[in-house]
Amino acid sequence: EVQLLESGGGLVQPGGSLRLSCAASGFGFSSYAMSWVRQAPGKGLEWVSGISGNGANTFYADSVKGRFTISRDNSRNTMYVEMNNLRGEDTATYYCVRTEIGDYLVLGYWYFHLWGRGTLVTVSS
């Protein structure tokens, strides 16, 4: 079965750190770009970070640049995000998403094909 399973969420104090993991199964993990997309309680979707299939290219939203680090271990079919200096506004459900990136000058795209169930991160004192 094709599946993404997030783990590592929880309650953390402002300024603290957390590492989320995403275990993939049922498909050729290293062939796909991956992303983290988050959703604050009652709010919309916000793309956080992305990584190419071989891990050579990483992308970040301005809101997390310098604080979050995305990585992957293709031998373990697992993606990670290391989150540092967490703020209240980082409180959200974080989804792991299999991604297709078309980096073309015209008619480019980011498609989010397969989503995990998400893991909740709460930043609060």
Partner 1 sequence: SSELTQDPAVSVALGQTVRITCQGDSLRNNYASWYQQKPGQAPILVIYGKNNRPPGIPDRLSASRSGNTASLTITGAQAEDEADYYCNSRNSDSNRPLFGGGTRLTVL
Residues binding partner 1 (CB under 8 A): 35, 37, 44-47, 50, 59, 61, 95, 101-103, 105-118
Nearer to partner 1, 31 or 111 (CB): 111
Tokens 């009652």 belong to 42
Nearer to partner 1 by Cβ, of 75 and 103: the residue is 103
CB 33 within 8 Å of CB 53: yes
Least distance in angstroms from the C-beta of 76 to partner 1: 22
Q: State the nearest-atom distance from the C-beta of 13 to partner 1, in Å.
A: 27
Nearer to partner 1 (CB atom), residue 59 or residue 122: 59
Least distance (Å) from partner 1 to the CB of residue 63?
A: 11
We find the least distance from the C-beta atom of residue 45 to partner 1, in angstroms, to be: 4
Torsion of CA 15, 122, 29, 108, to 10 degrees: -80
Q: What is the DSSP letter of 75?
A: T
Q: Output the CA–CA distances (angstroms, integers) from residue 57 to 25, 94, 99, in the order listed.
A: 22, 21, 13
- CA 48, CA 64: separation in Å to the nearest integer? 7
| Residue among 42 and 75 whose Cβ is closer to partner 1 | 42
